[in-house]
Amino acid sequence: MATYESIIKITGSVGDLVFYTLNGKNVVRKKSGFNKSAFKKSASYEKVRQNGSEFGHCSKVGKIIRQALDHYVKAAGDPLLYQSFAKTMTRIKDLDQISVRGNRNVKHGLPLEEGKKLLKEFQFGQIPVISDHISVSFDLWENNLHIHKKSEADEVTIVTLKVDTDSYSIEKFEQTEALKPDTEMIRFEKHFSDDDLLLYFMVLKRKGEILNMGFV
């Protein structure tokens, strides 16, 4: 990009040069060599197209999860959280051994142990993760929340997310349970089928202040 001075103001294309005004200055640049049609059809761009498709998928999945947890995302106070969360979704997507490159899906990585681990380790801002304190187990009719470490928390909020990574939609159920110093397990109801892709996000609070939060 370069600026130019002329008594004649030129706007538009002349040969392989493009003239326009930017911030009050006359600017000229060479046309980009990018060819939109070639990008869509050329074999040389195939890997780029695949990466772009998967990146878009991970960004959308990350966005719907963050939107479902909007209150807690805001509490984290991290303006770049969307970037780090999208990166985590990408790492989870990379675990997909079922789909061909370009169509790898977060839903095939999340059920794997490594996928679960990546989600549990994700930290929302400076708020400590919760997975060291809490785990979940499942039986036929109910879910069980197990508390492994004593905490000053007086309540726990349980957010169950049913995630559809194909339609990019989420169903959510949220409940809060009181905690006592000797509480070791809490049973909470099932709201979705075991065949659904479910995520469990939990928050430990004391007098309304968040102590720990994250996925379990």
Tell me, which fold does domain 45-215 have in CATH?
Answer: Immunoglobulin-like (2.60.40)
User: Between 49 and 212, whose confidence is greater?
Assistant: 212
Using alpha carbons only, how large is the chain's radius of gyration in Å?
24
- Of 29-33, 119-123, 137-141, 142-146, the range with the lowest mean pLDDT is 29-33
- Phi-psi region at 187: left, alpha or beta (left = phi > 0; alpha = psi -120 to 50): beta
User: Could you state, in order of their start, the residue ranges of all structural domains in the chain?
Assistant: 2-32, 45-215
Q: Record the pTM.
A: 0.78
Q: Whose structure tokens read 């996928």?
A: 115
DSSP structure class, residue 43: G
First to last CA, the chain: 50
